[in-house]
Chain A
């Protein structure tokens, strides 16, 4: 009687786990789609207009109270700098935005590309953070809360644009640092980020993401000879708040064309949905199999014990 009930228990357990695995799959398939906040703001960077004056870098430094730069912002020799592997300058602790120069075949002048956090609609840094240190505000800025950060730096690996930087220079309280779109001082009050206002060429256009996206489409339509028919950031990694227009294919000026059109979290969603199932059901299931497989031995042992006791 005892054995039978155990068998029944195992049978039910297996049936239950199969059922649960199907239910689990159903849940992951209908995972919530997030298409970004409708009121999110954005900035359109028109690379045909940027002249590489670095005024945006200077304005960012002032607005965010960042430490002094290594060289003055009117030192244009930084454009010749090459990092390990021939890489251009990038964001770091104390530098939230950089402008890099690109020489392109067939163009008689160099192109300048401003680089900063692109403020993704569904940011990989945010979704990778297990203490929820990141927030995507309805205005579009991706904010970081250093008070809860544990310093794991997963966000730095998760970011498809390699934007977040870590203040390694701080021994006691290192934090992640990146562009916050001037959220507390400007964006929150409906004003454009400091870099946008500082740009003398109006290479940066501020407005609702949907609006600046339509400006970008409009510019391409009115001047097809001036732009390639691609708005970088419209679809890349599920869409970003910062969008780019270029006169040459984006891959020629250092843009990563392999980031895909899905938010980074989509690549791991189906995997993550199976994790709870694996963690809860597999131990019970395999413990059950083990029990079944070793039942005869166990019975023998038990019998032996009982006969031993009797004798």
Chain B
């Protein structure tokens, strides 16, 4: 019991933190986040990896037109409820998409000491819970691969720091060396 209440406390604090971060990171062009799920938020900006990659603009409406809500927003209806979550979080269903955001379940600060503690020693159903970046990639990528845009840079343009991390300059060196080698 103590572990559960501790989890909620930490999760609430973490949630506030995440929301704060999200408000900085995700700006809604239409202003306030829409109240109703029929009108999705407009363009969101995801910038959690700005040190290595440029921020990604995510067009909510375009994706909704293409594939609908539930492809990405899983476990939101009674039928699609995750049985492990549903045991305790019945209040999220039905119509949970009104109330739930991705980061309510999949935290952005996946590797913070406090969260590492939760996933290891919290309630058993919160064990091994996927963070936001992992959830995004696992949820988005399969579709993108099918549509031939599954490469990292198809969504994420690398920054200069990113180029440095991946040692991109070596590729250019090698190529130019190769080219000059062929010239001889």
Interface residues of A (CB under 8 A from B): 49, 51, 53-54, 58-59, 61-62, 68-75, 190-192, 196-197, 199-202, 205-208, 211, 214-215, 218-219
Contact = CB atoms under 8 A, between A and B. Distances in A.
Given A53-B152, A74-B152, A202-B131, A68 B170 contact: yes
Main secondary structure of the interface of B (DSSP, over half): helix
Contact of A71 (B116, B133, B134, B170): B170
Interface stretch (B30-38, B61-69, B160-168): B160-168
A270 B150 CA distance: 54
Given A58-B165, A72-B170, A207 B120 contact: yes
B167 A69 contact: yes
A214 B168 CA distance: 39
B128 A205 contact: yes
> Which 9 residue pairs spanning A and B have beta carbons closest together?
A202-B134, A215-B128, A72-B171, A73-B166, A211-B120, A72-B167, A74-B166, A201-B137, A72-B168
A205 B110 CA distance: 10
Interface of B: 49, 110-111, 113, 116, 119-120, 127-128, 130-131, 133-135, 137-138, 141, 150, 152-153, 165-171, 174
A51 B128 contact: no
Contacts of B168: 72, 74
A202 B141 CA distance: 13
Nearest to B134: A202
Contacts of B171: 71-72, 74-75
B78 to A, nearest CB: 20
A211 to B, nearest CB: 5
Nearest to A212: B128
Contact of A62 (B133, B138, B165): B165
Nearest to A210: B120
B119 A207 contact: yes
19 contacts: A49-B134, A71-B170, A71-B174, A72-B167, A72-B171, A74-B171, A191-B113, A192-B111, A197-B111, A200-B49, A201-B134, A201-B137, A201-B138, A202-B130, A202-B138, A207-B120, A208-B120, A211-B120, A219-B128
Contacts of A208: 120
A51 B119 CA distance: 24
Contacts of B128: 205, 215, 218-219
Contacts of A68: 167, 170
